[in-house]
Amino acid sequence: MKVECEEGGVDQRAVSDAVWNSVLRLFGEVGCSQAGLYLVHFDEEEKYGVLRCSHKALPMVKAAIASVTKIGNKPAAIHVLRVSGSIKTLRRKVDVQTLRAS
């Protein structure tokens, strides 16, 4: 996923909190427990991150990510770039995409 924030940088903790709070607000504590969220990696400079979740909760997590409008108190947006079943494949696909883009 890519984080977009016009007012300066965001840190890993803030992004993780924003996603967790979004899932909590939309789907409640039960939804959060089913989602199994974990922010595996976040590059604070490039603002790219990898979020792990339960595959059964994927539609729910994607909806929650799309509904994030603030990170901390800063207006922000999070865009899902790719979804993959394994983190290894995801890193490989993202590297290929970055290479092609450059």
- Binding residues for other proteins (CB under 8 A): 4, 6, 25-26, 59-60, 62-63, 65-67, 69, 75-77, 79-80
Q: Which CB, 80 or 96, lies closer to other proteins?
A: 80
∠ CA 30-72-9, rounded to 5° = 125
CB of 94 to other proteins, least distance (A): 16
23 backbone dihedrals φ, ψ, rounded to 5°: -65, -40
CB of 10 to other proteins, least distance (A): 13
Contact (Cβ atoms closer than 8 angstroms) between residue 60 and residue 37? no
